[in-house]
Amino acid sequence: MSDCSEEIIDARAIEHSRPNLTAFIVCLGCVVVLLDISIVNVALQPIATGLGARVTDLQWIIDAYTVAFASFLLSAGIAGDRYGNKQVFAVGFVLFTIASLVCGAASSLNTLIAARVIQGIGAALIIPCSLTLLNHAYDNPVQRSKAFGWWAGAGGVSVAAGPLIGGFLVHIFGWRSIFYVNLPIGLAAVLLTFRYIQKESPLPRQRIDLPGQLVSLFALASLTTVLIEGTNWGWNSAKIIGLSIAFVLLAILFLRIERGQSHPMLPLSLFRSAQFSVATLLGLLLSFPFYGLIFTLSLYFQQVRHFTPLQTGFAFLPVTGLLTIRNVFSGNLAASRGTRFPIVAGFLLGGIGFFWLAFAADQEVPYLNLLPPLLCVGAGVPLILPPVTSIVLASVTRSQVGRGSATLNTGRQIGAAAGVAVLGSLLSVHQQFIIGFRWGLVLCGIICWLSIVLTIRFIPHSLKLAGIDEQSSVS
């Protein structure tokens, strides 16, 4: 009798704590996905040394993950609704964990890049399903809002801590450890998912837009190949011209498919709102310079300044460390001054930082001379994303919030892939690394200040903020 009572008490205790356990599990998903975006950058030079990689190979190591992530992000949410978010979330973690094992054990660049693609697909399955699982876990709106704050905070800390954690791991265990660290997290997350996350009823009427998914994947892959390999193959070569034409044709085909689909992965009707369109474009324009900088700055520190991975991780702190304040400070600023002000201020600071860094960066300049422009970038970037996300959410109906947020995050991943590809190509164009690095920084500064013009032209000074915090995070 007592054993039966204890089992009932244990079952009630588990049921009572299930929402918080769900929050913990989905935060693990956010951590591994976003950590992997930033942690790899500090290991690029050791990977290049270990596998004999060129700059273009390093670009593919980053962009293989990002392109796959961007390509499958829109369809992943639909898959979660159709087959069950718990199941799709678990499958994403399994794919991500297995791919991390293959990345760590890779003996060739092709194997590593292929495994990074699988990692990106797994990441795309994890993120949208994690948000839905978190939304379903709480009945109390206040508790739900706090849980989304934990999720957002976990993402911000992961991006900020990635270079430092990566530096420690590479310094102590070598570059393969940055992938192996995902194994215990992934295994624990899968076991905890099946044990504690409640299964919800799938929506079989939801249909995956397979033609749109395949065409968008090939279109992004074609564009990324052109941007990365243009310098090596020659911009006038048959391969580059052919891939450029293929990208244009695939992009047109994608728009026609989405226009004719009853259940499109990207509802084109969203872009009838000028504010939605511009806010999505601003998200892309934010990611281009930020992730392009993270990629090239890591190579600058290690190839030009000869920093160790650990020193590189510490050197990144002015840029990444300030990301942790974004959800509080930027949100409060937008609430008090309107959405336009923090966006303009963020891009203004970022532009100043990029131009300043372009003139300050050299082979012999003391690190302290680089600190002010790095702080400008680090202070500017966190101001932009939360109000941009709020504009996106305020521009769509409640039933379109998931698609609107996924569209914004897909655009941001495309911007990240393009930033790495373009700035990396500028390094390859010039024989002297520092010249290509500076031109890339100037381009980033120009993009920031062009974004100010777009913001002032299309974003109202004051816009009602959407009260849905859960979508505002992914950095």
* Pair 241, 276 in one domain: no
Residue with tokens 């013009």, as numbered in its chain: 453
Question: Per the domain annotation, does 48 fall within a domain?
Answer: yes
Question: Per the domain annotation, does 134 fall within a domain?
Answer: yes
CA distances, 278 to each of 80, 211, 274, 407, 448 (Å)? 28, 27, 6, 12, 14
**Residues 6+ away with beta carbon under 8 Å from 454:** 278, 281, 282, 285
* Pair 369, 438 in one domain: yes
> How many whole angstroms separate alpha carbon 150 and alpha carbon 159?
14
For residue 34, which of 184, 182, 220 has the smallest C-alpha distance?
A: 182
Domain limit, last residue, from 168, 202, 236? 202
* Pair 288, 401 in one domain: yes
**By the 8 A CB rule, do 384 and 342 touch?**
yes
Question: pLDDT tens-digit profile of 342-354?
Answer: 899 999 999 999 9
* Pair 299, 253 in one domain: no
Residue with tokens 């990365």, as numbered in its chain: 228
* Pair 68, 17 in one domain: yes
* Entry pTM: 0.88
Amino acid identity for residue 249 in this structure: L
Question: Per the domain annotation, does 386 fall within a domain?
Answer: yes
- Domain of 250 in residue numbering reads as 209-264
Question: Per the domain annotation, does 475 fall within a domain?
Answer: no
* Pair 164, 230 in one domain: no
C-alpha angle with apex 98: 93 to 101, nearest 5 degrees? 125
Question: Per the domain annotation, does 284 fall within a domain?
Answer: yes
CATH number, domain at 99?
Answer: 1.20.1250.20
Question: Per the domain annotation, does 150 fall within a domain?
Answer: yes
Per-residue confidence (pLDDT) for residue 327, from 0 to 100: 53
Separation of CA 353 from chain center:
22
* Pair 344, 196 in one domain: no
Name the CA radius of gyration of the chain, rounded.
22
**By the 8 A CB rule, do 330 and 383 touch?**
yes
Separation of CA 431 from chain center:
31
Domain limit, last residue, from 202, 231, 256? 202
- pLDDT 10s digit of each residue in the chain, 475 long? 555 544 444 445 445 567 888 888 888 888 888 888 888 989 999 999 999 989 999 999 999 999 999 999 888 888 887 888 889 999 999 999 999 999 999 999 999 999 999 999 999 999 888 877 877 777 777 777 677 767 777 777 887 788 999 999 999 999 999 999 999 999 999 999 988 887 776 666 667 888 999 999 999 999 999 999 998 898 899 999 999 999 999 999 999 999 988 788 888 988 998 999 999 999 999 999 999 999 999 999 999 999 999 999 999 988 887 776 655 566 666 666 778 888 999 999 999 999 999 999 988 899 999 999 999 999 898 888 888 888 887 888 766 777 788 888 899 999 999 999 999 999 887 778 999 999 999 999 999 999 999 999 998 876 544 444 434 444 4
Per-residue confidence (pLDDT) for residue 307, from 0 to 100: 93
C-alpha angle with apex 55: 170 to 426, nearest 5 degrees? 130
Give the residue ranges of DSSP H helices in 366-467: 367-380, 385-394, 401-429, 433-458
* Pair 338, 424 in one domain: yes
Question: pLDDT tens-digit profile of 117-134?
Answer: 999 999 999 988 887 787
Question: Per the domain annotation, does 21 fall within a domain?
Answer: yes
Report the number of distinct structural domains present in the chain. 3
* Pair 336, 429 in one domain: yes
Question: Per the domain annotation, does 402 fall within a domain?
Answer: yes
Domain limit, last residue, from 179, 202, 225? 202
* Pair 232, 144 in one domain: no
* Pair 368, 227 in one domain: no
* Pair 83, 229 in one domain: no
